[in-house]
């Protein structure tokens, strides 16, 4: 975070300034709400494309356990594998028929490469497209078995010349698979280095698995990514899915990583090596100092497996699953507190989807099985209020109505709260705002936003979805006996703006506004998981930094208070443009300070008052502040994000176009100028 002393509230250069509007805001620190949970700053990660396997995990090789056959033939066009694209493939060294896939002696999956040798001619397999950097060390291992006459070596190659490589000879091979260590140091930069596993001599040899990572890896994770994510102090991470979880077998992803079977993930049509499983996730949470939140498979999964999963994580080493965990190198229980039962089980894209009435029974069976193992866990139910059921068209699928009736078979959250109340502690809700699109209730589909819609409405979209869920919850309170006596807060464990430019600033005011709306209902919003943690980074294969949205998350986590206080104003937000229902609220989100949005909070010890201001317009605004219920003392500080352009970005390896400016203030001005498209946090000590 940069520190620059600025003259108070300088105008932004390079932005057209229209006539300044004057807005009044009153901060009443004597009127407080429930404390803001650190978990609302949480993150979500899922095995989709390269989000985990290459986004945070340090493994450099694709298909390292040979799900696909080794061949020189280009693969046939297959299903898309998300944003990352197809995996890099292994190809033969020597003639194609020198490498065959042996299904009789597999090591991890269904088969393993068998290499037929031919004297002095090097035969084996290779994979190109690796990124290496000069002077950097790389370590790994290869699992081999073979005839005594086979001599195998592994080479890291970073150039075309014969001397632009380093070779490590494996030891004597035997009929049983054995692991051989690898260690290299690249002598040049390359984004197309390759690894060769080649043999000479007589006979054959098998390759069971191979791994290569930068020697600087942090317990298997990319250190530059860990360093960036750790700055966020996110509170909680949700894992492993997402759609992925409904067809995932958690037992495939424990034990020796080299022998975990690679599987085709049908949710995202991608091969999963199962290298990052429960134990690795727990290591990640320890490295980031966040609470783990695990979702169990309530799609193709069963209640007994879910109970076993809880026992693996939380059981003592004397229990069957706890003993297995200890055998895998983790004798002490993890003590995972938060457990989700299924993901989006209301959507017809989810594996194991069923009618609501059936899933209510399934949820209760899961909850009972899991709590028998550990009664102290907090259970998060799979929910979808009418906004999600409308926008996803699932209400139309189930009931024929675009907008579901409350407590009908198409109101998923309503049914879960009505019939599973004693078997949940929070309810999972998801939303995604779509770039320049909205859901048209009359047409029953997503349409383009009207041309000429003000920027403020684009920025409002995520906060609108936060607000509409609050309104739906008020309906549940009125309709479901027992909910008031046993409140079930929301875990907003998937949310994001989709389709916006990656690493751009435009989403920053939108996300800050969404935070403000969560803070206004801090009793209801107790947890959140942004999609995805890695979306807060700008990264390539060797570097990673926080992007503008990441800087904003860090800004609020570091400097915004904990105890929300009342904000009133003289300029109410306009009424919603579209009729209420489904994903449209009755009341627009935001404080009565239009076009600004203002939130305020005291620190946990009530010794500091913080005031956050979002200006979602391209015009400088003027804000008159009045403070009640607390006396401010001493000098304050201002942190502000206000780039010269809404299209500013942060791209790794380039000069950042966005920064957090820090400024000392002698006192809180009665009237302040709020820069266009800015996010600001003021902090002052309180007597």
CA distances from 279 to 459, 516, 542, 568 (A): 39, 35, 24, 48
Structure confidence at residue 86 as a pLDDT band (50, 70, 90): low
Query: For residue 427, how many other CB atoms are within 10 A of its CB?
Result: 27
Contact 241, 266 (CB under 8 A): no
> Looking at the domain assignment, is residue 74 inside a domain?
no
**Do 188 and 252 belong to one domain?**
no
Instruction: Say yes or no: 595 and 553 in one domain.
Output: no
pLDDT for residue 20: 52
Q: pLDDT digit string (tens) for 481-527?
A: 999 999 999 999 999 999 998 999 999 999 999 999 999 999 999 99
Mean per-residue pLDDT for 605-610?
96
At residue 36 the predicted structure's pLDDT band, cuts being 50, 70 and 90, is very high
pTM over 0.85: yes
Which among 535, 562, 589 is the end of a domain?
562
* Euclidean distance between CA atoms 484 and 477, whole angstroms: 6
Q: Which of 41, 90, 435 is nearest to 234 (CA)?
A: 41
Domain assignment present for residue 205? The answer is yes
Q: Tens digits of per-residue pLDDT, 130-186?
A: 999 999 999 999 999 999 999 999 999 999 999 999 999 999 999 999 999 999 999
Residue 482 lies in a domain: yes
Q: Is the pLDDT of residue 76 over 80?
A: no
Positive/negative CA dihedral, 663, 668, 673, 674: positive
pLDDT at 21: 61
- Cβ atoms of 373 and 315 within 8 Å: the answer is yes
What percent of the chain has pLDDT above 70?
A: 95
How many CB atoms are located within 10 Å of the residue 454 CB? 12
Contacts of 61 (CB under 8 A, 6+ apart): 88, 127, 130, 195, 210, 211, 212
Domain that holds residue 591: 22-34+566-685
Q: Is residue 54 part of a domain?
A: no
Q: Rounded to whole angstroms, how far apart are CA atoms 567 and 520?
A: 9
DSSP state of 570: S
Residue 87 has pLDDT above 70, yes or no: yes
Mean local confidence (pLDDT), 217-223:
98
**Nearest alpha-carbon partner for 494 in 384, 391, 591, 390:** 384
Shared-domain flag, residues 628 and 497: no
Answer yes or no: is 76 within a domain: no
Examine the pLDDT at 348 and tell me if it is beyond 90.
Answer: yes
Report if residue 124 sits inside a domain: yes
Predicted confidence (pLDDT) per residue in 281-312, tens digit: 999 999 999 999 999 999 999 999 999 999 99
Of 562, 589, 618, at which residue does a domain stop? 562
In a domain, residue 635? The reply is yes
Which pLDDT band holds residue 78 (cuts at 50, 70, 90)? low
Q: Are residues 663 and 581 in the same domain?
A: yes
Integer CA distances (angstroms), 337 to 417, 511, 527, in order: 21, 27, 13
* pLDDT at residue 77, as a whole number: 54
Q: For residues 553-563, give the mean pLDDT.
A: 98
DSSP 281: H
DSSP code at position 405: P
Judgement on whether residues 553 and 573 belong to the same structural domain of the protein: no
Question: pLDDT tens, 5-31?
Answer: 232 333 233 333 334 568 999 999 999
- How crowded is residue 14: how many other Cβ atoms within 10 Å of its Cβ? 8
Please provide the DSSP assignment of 284-345 as one string: HHHHHT-EEEEEE--SS--HHHHHHHHHHHHS-TTSHHHHHHHHTT--S-----EEEE-SST
d(CA 548, CA 533) in angstroms, rounded, equals 13
Domain harbouring 181, CATH code = 2.60.120.260
Token pair recorded at residue 390? 């409308």
* Same-domain status, 90 and 177: yes
**Cβ atoms within 10 Å of 482's Cβ, excluding its own:** 10
Residues with Cβ within 8 Å of residue 486, at least 6 apart in sequence:
421, 422
Roughly how many angstroms between the first and final C-alpha of the chain, as a whole number? Answer: 28
Q: Where are the beta strands (DSSP E) in 66-164?
A: 91-93, 99-102, 112-116, 119-132, 137-146, 150-157
Structure token pair of residue 589? 């989100």
Q: Is residue 105 domain-shared with residue 123, that is, in the same domain?
A: yes
What strands, in cross-sheet order, belong to the sheet with 150-157? 91-93, 119-132, 190-201, 150-157, 165-169
487-518 as b/e: b if 16+ CB within 10 A: ebbbbbbbbbbeebeebbbbbbbbbbbbbbbb
Q: Please tell me the distance from the alpha carbon of residue 296 to that of residue 379, in angstroms, as a whole number.
A: 11
CATH number at residue 510: 3.20.20.80
Question: By the 8 A CB rule, do 130 and 212 touch?
Answer: yes
Same domain, 557 and 593: no
218 in helix, strand or coil? strand
Q: How confident is the model at residue 85 (pLDDT cuts 50, 70, 90)?
A: low
Alpha-carbon span 17 to 14, nearest angstrom: 9
Residues 44 and 148 in one domain: no
The position carrying tokens 């500013």 is 648
Strand partners, 530: 43, 495
Indicate which CATH number applies to the domain containing 636: 2.60.40.1180
Dihedral of the alpha carbons of 90, 92, 97, 100, in degrees to the nearest 10? -40
- The DSSP call for residue 462 is H
Q: Which residues touch 460 (CB under 8 Å, ≥6 apart)?
A: 510, 513, 588, 589, 590, 616
Q: How far apart are CA 43 and CA 293, in angstroms?
A: 10
Instruction: Select from 214, 233, 250 the last residue of a domain.
Output: 214
Bridge pairing between strands 636-641 and 661-665: antiparallel
71: pLDDT strictly greater than 80:
yes
pLDDT at 617 over 50: yes
Average model confidence (pLDDT) across the chain? 94
**Residue 10 included in any domain:** no
Phi-psi category of 293—alpha, beta or left, where left has phi over 0 and alpha has psi -120 to 50?
A: beta
Residues 178 and 226 in one domain: no
Q: How many domains is the chain partitioned into structurally?
A: 3
Shared domain check, 364 and 485: yes
Q: Which residue did the predictor score with more confidence, 72 or 174?
A: 174
Residue 670's pLDDT is: 81
Say yes or no: 557 and 604 in one domain: no
């Amino acid at each position: 975070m940069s520190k620059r002393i600025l003259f108070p509230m300088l105008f932004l250069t390079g932005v057209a300034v229209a006539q300044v509007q004057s807005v009044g805001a009153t901060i009443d620190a004597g009127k407080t709400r429930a404390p803001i949970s650190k978990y609302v700053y949480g993150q979500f990660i899922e095995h989709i494309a390269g989000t985990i396997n290459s986004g945070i995990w340090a493994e450099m090789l694709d298909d390292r356990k040979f799900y696909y056959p080794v061949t020189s033939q280009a693969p046939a066009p297959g299903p898309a594998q998300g944003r990352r694209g197809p995996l890099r493939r292994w190809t033969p060294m020597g003639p194609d028929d020198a490498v065959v896939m042996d299904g009789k002696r597999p090591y991890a999956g269904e088969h393993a490469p068998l290499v037929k040798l031919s004297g002095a001619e090097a035969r084996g397999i290779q994979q190109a497209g690796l990124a290496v950097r000069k002077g950097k060390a790389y370590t790994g291992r290869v699992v081999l078995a073979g005839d005594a006459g086979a001599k195998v070596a592994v080479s890291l190659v970073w150039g075309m010349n014969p001397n632009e490589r380093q070779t490590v000879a494996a030891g004597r091979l035997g009929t049983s698979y054995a692991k051989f260590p690898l260690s290299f140091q690249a002598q040049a930069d390359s984004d197309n280095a390759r690894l060769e596993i080649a043999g000479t001599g007589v006979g054959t040899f098998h390759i069971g698995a191979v791994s290569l990572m930068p020697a600087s890896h942090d317990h298997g994770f990319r250190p530059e990514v860990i360093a960036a994510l750790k700055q966020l102090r996110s509170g909680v991470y949700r894992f492993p899915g997402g759609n992925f979880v409904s067809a995932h077998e958690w037992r495939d992803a424990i034990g020796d990583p080299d022998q975990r079977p690679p599987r085709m993930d049908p949710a995202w049509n991608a091969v999963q090596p199962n290298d990052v499983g429960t134990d690795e996730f727990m290591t990640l949470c320890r490295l980031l100092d966040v609470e783990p939140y695990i979702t169990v498979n309530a799609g193709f999964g069963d209640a007994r497996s879910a109970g076993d999963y809880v026992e693996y994580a939380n059981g003592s080493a004397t229990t069957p699953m706890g003993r297995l965990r200890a055998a895998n190198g983790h004798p002490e229980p993890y003590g995972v507190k938060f457990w989700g039962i299924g993901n989006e089980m209301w959507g017809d894209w989810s594996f194991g989807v069923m009618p609501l009435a059936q899933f209510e029974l399934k949820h209760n069976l899961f909850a009972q099985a899991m709590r028998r193992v550990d009664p102290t866990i907090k259970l998060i139910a799979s929910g979808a209020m009418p906004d999600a059921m409308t926008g996803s068209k699932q209400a139309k699928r189930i009931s024929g109505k675009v907008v579901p009736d409350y407590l009908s078979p198409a109101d998923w959250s309503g049914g879960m709260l009505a019939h599973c109340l004693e078997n949940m502690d929070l309810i999972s809700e998801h939303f995604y705002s779509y770039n320049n699109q909205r859901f048209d209730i009359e047409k029953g589909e997503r349409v383009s936003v009207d041309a000429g819609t003000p920027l403020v409405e684009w920025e409002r979209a995520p906060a609108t979805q936060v607000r509409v869920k609050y309104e739906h919850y008020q309906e549940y309170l009125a309709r479901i006996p027992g909910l008031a006596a046993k409140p079930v807060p929301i875990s907003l464990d998937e949310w994001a703006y989709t389709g916006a430019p990656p690493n751009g600033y435009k989403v920053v005011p939108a996300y800050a506004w969404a935070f403000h709306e969560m803070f206004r209902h801090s009793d209801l919003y107790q947890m959140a998981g942004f999609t995805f943690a890695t979306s807060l980074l700008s990264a390539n294969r060797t570097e990673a930094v926080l992007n503008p949205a990441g800087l904003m998350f860090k800004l609020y986590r570091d400097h915004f208070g904990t105890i929300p206080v009342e904000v009133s104003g003289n300029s109410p937000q306009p009424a919603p443009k579209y009729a209420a229902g489904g994903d449209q609220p009755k009341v627009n989100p935001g404080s009565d300070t239009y076009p600004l949005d203002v939130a305020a909070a005291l620190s946990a010890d009530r010794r500091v008052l913080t005031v956050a201001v979002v200006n979602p317009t391209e015009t400088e605004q003027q804000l008159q502040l009045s403070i009640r219920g607390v006396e401010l003392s001493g000098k304050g500080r201002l942190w502000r994000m206000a780039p010269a352009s809404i299209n500013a970005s942060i791209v790794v390896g380039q000069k950042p176009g966005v920064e957090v400016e820090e400024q000392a203030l002698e006192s809180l001005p009665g009237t302040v100028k709020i820069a266009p498209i800015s996010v600001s946090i003021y902090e002052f000590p309180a007597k």
